[in-house]
Amino acid sequence: MNKKIVWLAAMILLILIAGSAGCIAEKKVYTVGVSSALEPFSAKNAVTGDPYGIDIDIIDWIAKDQGFDVVYTYIGADKYLDALDAGTVDVVTGKVITEDRLKRCDFTDVYYTAKYGLVVRKDSNVTLDEVLRGQASIAANSGSAYEKWLKAHHGEDTFNELVAAGKIIIKPSVNAVIYSVLAKEADSGMTSGGSISQMLNEYTPLMFAGYISEGNDAGFSVAKSNPELLKILNNGLRNMKASGEYDQVMKAYGIPHVKSAYKVGTDKDNYPYSHLDENGNFTGFDIDSIRWIAEQNGFAVTFEDIPWSKNINAIVTGTIDMFASGMSITPERLEKVAFSNPYMTEGMSVFSQPQSPVSKADFEAGKISVGVIYGTADERFLKNLLGSELYDTMLMKKTIKMYDSQADLEKGLQSGQVAVILDNTGSDSYYEKMLTMKLVASYPDTDRFGYAMSNGDIELQDVVNKGLAALESSGKRAELLATYGLD
């Protein structure tokens, strides 16, 4: 072969190899638009100015998996479509997929289903229905899907009237929405379930009021002119989910979801709400109610006996997911945990031995010894009834005795340690018929019972609330009330 030809061929091969190597080494850089105030999905670090959140972690993982670099830039909620059209950004994170938006941009596969929820202050009596009827004020952030939802819900004319009347308050960010509720400017605030879950643990004066919608799918948006980037993002997102890393990110940020199984704390001696049957199995009105809700919603429940003195701490520390045993909803407990909707209104009853001569007047004057379960609303009721001074005096004299359980309370009365005991009216039938105790006094409608759970576990709260409504509409609640003598 001619040496010149061989030399030329070798040079061409080297050029091709060098060119190919250059293509492999080249790494694309994409500009990603993020929100500075949409926790926990994307937010701005107040110290460093860097973005952080679920969306950032997902994009970073995809970038590493797919071999590109990322530059983040903050962008307003109402500016991102124009920025995509102009090419100022290549990707925008965390947007609800709507028909109108799909006309202007493309979306990746769904990475999160956003539910619109409401937060209210714990010290208010504002309900979801009042907000949706425009009777209570609501804050939502400008240019968001929440603002659009409110327009669609009320109609544009009514929406504008409510804005003018101060019933709908438009704020520049999700954080501003929350601050509006905290400052009592707005009665409620509307944002995603994920954001609410995180905020409830940080802003303890707030509570979850319920979901407004069943869910809206969210994805990352790209310009319609860039189908190649859409493919890259989808490939990375699928790889992330397959690796299990996606689940780890969601878990790390505490994104709420209905789990496959829950651990429920209860009192094994609190008849008729929760107790052990002759075979040592948990039963009672609350036990059967929770089991029915679990069966209807496809998750499992296990029950564990938890002393009243430790039940709130068990929820806060995550030892249990929920406590179900005739627990009263009180301001003190609401400072630490959340509750389901009330499922029972009860009063307080005072019982003595059958032949005891004690009277209601003796009890209210503090002339007789009283037994009460420590850490319950019964204890709080007794203090309010007697007054702090008399209550404290009786504690010092040990004429008020604290017990850990209903079983210990019964033994205290039967053994003569105390003259009377205090318990909720739901136990009246048990004390009168099964233990043949005498009813000394009754105070109706002093308590509302609910199921307690973590402040941030709004998916569990939502499924239990809906389950309680279904329990009643199905007729199952009436059946259980009759079974346990509560009707």
Instruction: From 464, 457, 40, 463, select the one nearest 208 (Cα to Cα).
Output: 457
How deeply is 425 buried, as exposed, middle or buried, from its count of CB atoms within 10 A (0-12, 13-18, 19+)? buried
Decide: 107 and 226 in contact? Cβ < 8 Å. Answer: no
Tens-place pLDDT, residues 139-182:
999 988 889 999 999 999 999 999 999 999 999 988 899 999 99
Q: First CA to last CA across the chain, in angstroms?
A: 105
| Angle at which helices 145-154 and 156-164 cross, to 10° | 110
CA distances from residue 411 to 273, 382, 405 in whole angstroms, order as listed? 19, 20, 10
Amino acid (one-letter) located at 434: M
Predicted TM-score (pTM) of this structure: 0.66
Q: How do strand 344-352 and strand 216-223 relate by DSSP bridges? A: unpaired
Alpha-helix residue ranges (DSSP H) falling in 42-155: 54-66, 80-86, 99-102, 128-132, 145-154
CB 118 within 8 A of CB 188: yes
CA–CA separation, 212 and 149 (whole Å): 10
Count the helix, strand and coil residues of the chain and give each as a percent rounded to the nearest 5. Answer: 40, 25, 30
- pLDDT for 360 equals 95
| Residues 351 and 413: beta-carbon distance below 8 Å | yes
Question: Do the domains 261-343+450-483 and 25-112+220-252 match in fold?
Answer: yes
- Cα-only R_g, the chain: 30
25-112+220-252 classified as CATH 3.40.190.10: yes
Quickly count: other Cβ atoms within 10 Å of residue 472's Cβ.
12
User: What pLDDT is stored for residue 21 in this prediction?
Assistant: 41
pLDDT of residue 206: 92
CATH superfamily of 116-213: Periplasmic binding protein-like II (3.40.190.10)
Q: For position 17, what pLDDT does the model report?
A: 47
- pLDDT for the residue numbered 22: 40
User: CA distances (Å), 486 to each of 346, 414, 464, 481, in order?
Assistant: 10, 24, 21, 5
3-state secondary structure of 228: helix
Write the pLDDT tens digit of every residue in 33-91.
999 988 889 999 999 999 999 999 999 999 999 999 999 999 987 888 999 999 999 99
Q: Please state, in angstroms and rounded to a whole number, the distance separating the CA atoms of residues 187 and 167.
A: 9
Which residue's structure tokens are 């089991």? 291
Q: 202 in helix, strand or coil?
A: helix
What is the CATH code for 261-343+450-483?
3.40.190.10
Q: Are 169 and 136 in contact (CB under 8 A)?
A: no
Hey, where are the domains in the chain?
25-112+220-252, 116-213, 261-343+450-483, 345-449
Tell me the β-bridge partners of 438.
352
Contact 121, 203 (CB under 8 A): no
Cα–Cα–Cα angle for 65, 69, 70, rounded to 5 degrees? 110
Contact (CB, 8 A) for 323 and 464: no
Residue pLDDT tens, the chain, 487 long: 555 444 444 444 444 544 444 443 456 999 999 999 888 899 999 999 999 999 999 999 999 999 999 999 999 878 889 999 999 999 999 888 989 999 999 999 988 877 889 999 998 889 999 999 999 999 999 988 889 999 999 999 999 999 999 999 999 988 899 999 999 999 999 988 878 887 887 888 999 999 887 677 889 999 999 999 999 999 999 999 888 788 788 878 877 777 778 999 999 999 899 999 999 999 999 999 999 999 998 889 999 999 988 999 999 999 999 999 999 998 889 989 999 999 999 899 999 999 999 999 999 999 999 999 988 888 889 999 999 999 999 999 999 999 988 889 999 999 999 999 998 888 888 888 888 999 999 999 888 999 999 988 898 999 999 999 999 999 999 999 999 988 7
Whole-number Å distance between alpha carbons of 240 and 366: 66
- Return the structure tokens found at 380: 């709080």
The string of DSSP letters for 149-180 reads HHHHHH-HHHHHHHHHTTSEEEESSHHHHHHH
Spatial separation of the C-alpha atoms in residues 293 and 258, rounded to whole Å: 13
Residue 302 to residue 219: CA distance in whole angstroms: 36
Q: What is the dihedral of CA 294, 300, 305, 306, to 10 degrees?
A: -80
Tell which CATH architecture fits domain 345-449: 3-Layer(aba) Sandwich (3.40)
- pLDDT reported for residue 212: 85
